[in-house]
Amino acid sequence: MVYNWQHLFFPPRCLICGQAGEDELDICGNCRAGLPRIRSSCHCCALPLPPGSPSGILCGTCASKPPAFSHILAPWLYEAPVDDLIQQLKFQQKLPAGRLLAQLLAGELRQREAPSLLVPVPLYNTQLKKRGFNHSSEIARVLSRELSIPWSPWLLHKVRETRPQHNLGKRERKQNLRRCFSFDNKDNHRHVAVVDDVVTTTTTAAEVAKTLQRAGVEKVEVWALARTPMNR
Ligand SMILES: [Zn+2]
Ligand SMILES: [Zn+2]
């Protein structure tokens, strides 16, 4: 990691317990070791599976119908303290919380074949104005810097407003998001990673993947901070 001169004046401090940070990150070794890592998950959609499940296994849903995306990568469960840090970023605009999680996520992704572009899951204009910023863009921006992969908040758009997904059934969720995104593939990208904060159901990931594929992208991965134990 590049030496950060800011650390002379603001040494890294753990955002969870307040102790000194380690490895120039705002997290101490103990809290880092205690993050709720997903140990066994579906090879495709990252759905948490019972401990001890073999690696490379697919959940029932992915086995019966392969989704449009190639993989979802999400290292942690949406549990304390990851959920709290994500909410600090999302609802209180605490950028250090997002920076820390994105730096940790970057550490998980360094060995992978790099996509040529990172795109954050977009918000619709009115939602963006109300919230003031797109938290997924913050994650993508830090990932881009850490992994030296270009990112753009301008190519993937949400073209219409949608209802909140959490109270909808599977079929309604799909209907709600159908054709709600558009992607401008002016540079002819073939391998793109979509950046999101939490994957709850895979409906958004699947709809974004279909949008990118219609624009000529062959491989769509989803990189997220956390996953909830729920299927699409
Ligand atoms: Zn700590
Ligand atoms: Zn799956």
Distance 23 CA to ligand 1 centre (A): 13
Q: How far is the CA of 118 from the centre of ligand 2 (A)?
A: 22
- pLDDT tens digits, 113-135: 999 999 999 999 998 998 899 99
8 CA to centre of ligand 1 in angstroms: 20
pLDDT(1) > 60: no
Provide the CA 197 distance to its chain's centre, in angstroms.
4
What the block records as the tokens of 203 is: 């409906």
Ligand having the closest approach to the CA of 199: 2
Q: Kindly list the structural domains of the chain, giving each domain's residue range(s) and its CATH number in brackets, ordered by start.
A: 36-227 (3.40.50.2020)
Query: 220: which strand partners?
Result: 192
pLDDT digits 0-9 by tens, 52-71: 999 899 999 999 999 999 99
| 3 Cα to the center of ligand 2, angstroms | 39
The two three-digit tokens of residue 180, written as one number: 């709600």
The DSSP bridge partners found for residue 198 are 226
Q: What percent of the chain has pLDDT over 70?
A: 95
Which of 76, 93, 100 shows the shortest CA–CA distance to 13? Answer: 100
Q: How far apart are CA 120 and CA 195, in angstroms?
A: 5
Distance (angstroms) between ligand 1 centre and the Cα of 72 equals 28
pTM for this entry: 0.93
Mean pLDDT of the region 177-198? 96
Answer whether residue 232 shows pLDDT above 50: no
The Å distance, Cα 2 to ligand 1 centre, comes to 22
